[in-house]
Amino acid sequence: MKRKGFGFYLRIYGKILAQDLKSKMSYRADFIISTIGMIFTNIAGFLSFWILFRNFPSIQGWGYYEMLFLYGFSLVSLTPVQCLFDNNWSLRIHVYSGDFIKYCFRPINLFFYYQSEVFDIKGLGQLAFGIGTIAYSWSQLGLGVTPLMLLKLLVFLITASLIMIALQNAAAATCFWIQNSFYVLDLVTRFKDYAKYPIAIFSPVFRFIFTFVMPIAFIAYYPSIVILRPEEVPLLSWLSPLFGVLFFWGSYKFWMYGALKYSGTGS
């Protein structure tokens, strides 16, 4: 029975993913409209960014292209949560209607099984947009390209993604205890809009809060400083991959605890 390793889950995920994509394609109108919506979101986000910062050469020592890099970084690191964990948004609906229980009877990991059901392909547009923004600001900043830098970029993008995923998991799981957990999820989603600002603009008290209490500074600031300002990387940046894994693991445990606690009571 202990044969259900990583390979097993990867294979199942691949199958479900392929099927899900096939069926998504069958709702063509929805697919097109959602994609346009996603493009709109990104354009509007960029437009807001541009309107705000075009007048100012720098903000607290952060130049336009450095800000742009942060922006692009946050877009890319938000892609996994958008693509792979989108079913978290439906969680409270499944829970209130009682449908959630149907996920509890399979001999595989409940969290995996639930999340595997939806793959949100729209997120890929955001990914492309984010990569474009990073590449553009990267070249404008003249950072140069070395394998080590790319590796750093990759590691810290994954770190940032894990933290965002962790925040969303935990927020979605609140629906096992409270009504209208939508607001919690919505709140956490708004976090990501704040993540793109350099934490240097905040006063020390809030720097502390955004680092240790609501760790949004880990979504873009601490990871990307490794690339933007290699000479002044704080210890926290180097520790952030560890935090990423820890947060993710913690949120997973929380989610599972809630799921099992809940599925017993709801009918």
Partner 1 sequence: MKLKKYLTLTRAGIIESLQFRLGTLVIIAGNLLYLIVVYFLWKAIYASAGTDIVNGMTFSDTLIYLVLATALFNFMEMYIVWEMGRAIQSGKITLDLLKPMEYRKHLFWSYSGSFVTQFFFTFLPTFLIVAAVTHGAIRFGWNLLFFVISVVMAVSINYSIDFLVGTICLYTESIWGINIMKQVIVMLLSGATIPIAFFPEPLKTIAYYLPFQSIYNAPLSILLDGNPQLQTVLTTLGIQLFWCAAMMVLGKLFWKVSLRQITVNGG
Partner 2 sequence: MSNIIEIKNITKEFKVLNRREGLKGSIKDLFSRDYKIVRAVDNISMTIQQGEIVGYLGPNGAGKSTTIKMMTGILEPTSGEILVGGNVPYENRTKNAQEIGVVFGQRSQLWWALPLVESFKILKDIYGVSDKDYEDMLALYQSLVDIEPLLHKPVRQMSLGQRTLSDILAAFLHNPKIVFLDEPTIGLDVSMKAKIRTLIHALNQEKHTTVILTTHDMGDVDALCRRIVIIDKGKMLYDNDIEHLKNFFGSYRTLKIRIDGSLKQLAEEIDRKLSDFKVSADDEWISILVDEEKATVMEVLSRLQQSYKIRDMQLEEISTEEVIKKIYEEGVQ
DSSP state, residue 6: H
x-marked contacts with partner 1 along 204-223 as a string, rule CB under 8 A: --x-------x---------
Residue pair 165/80 in contact by the 8 Å Cβ criterion? yes
Nearer to partner 2, 19 or 48 (CB): 19
CA pair distance 241, 51, nearest whole angstrom: 33
Nearest one of 235, 78, 89 to 172, comparing CA atoms: 89
CA pair distance 120, 20, nearest whole angstrom: 9
Q: What's the count of helices (H) and strands (E) in the chain, helices before strands?
A: 12, 2
257 binds partner 2 (CB under 8 A): no
x-marked contacts with partner 1 along 60-79 as a string, rule CB under 8 A: x-------------------
CA pair distance 23, 45, nearest whole angstrom: 30
Q: Which does 124 bind (CB under 5 to 8 A by kind): partner 1, partner 2, none?
A: none
Please list, in sequence order, all residues whose beta carbon lies within 8 angstroms of the beta carbon of residue 213, skipping any fewer than 6 positions away. Answer: none
CA pair distance 153, 160, nearest whole angstrom: 10
Nearer to partner 2, 52 or 178 (CB): 178
**Which tokens sit at 39?**
């493009």
Tokens 């994609």 locate to 35
Least separation in angstroms between residue 30's CB and partner 1 is 4
Q: Which of residues 141-160 bind partner 1 (CB under 8 A)?
A: none
Q: Which of residues 22-81 bind partner 2 (CB under 8 A)?
A: 22-24, 26
Greatest Cα-to-Cα distance within the chain, rounded to the nearest angstrom: 63
Member of 23, 26, 55, 146 binding partner 1 (CB under 8 A): 55
Least separation in angstroms between residue 10's CB and partner 2 is 11
117 binds partner 2 (CB under 8 A): yes
Nearer to partner 2, 6 or 105 (CB): 105
Q: Which does 25 bind (CB under 5 to 8 A by kind): partner 1, partner 2, none?
A: none
CA-to-CA separations, 211 to 120, 205, 219, 227, 243, in angstroms, rounded:
29, 10, 10, 19, 11
Least separation in angstroms between residue 95's CB and partner 1 is 15
Q: Which does 212 bind (CB under 5 to 8 A by kind): partner 1, partner 2, none?
A: none
Beta strands in the chain (DSSP E): 58-59, 62-63
118 binds partner 1 (CB under 8 A): no
- Interacting residues toward partner 1 by CB under 8 A: 27, 29-31, 33-38, 40-41, 44, 47-48, 51-52, 54-60, 178-180, 182-184, 186-187, 190-191, 194, 197, 201-203, 206, 214
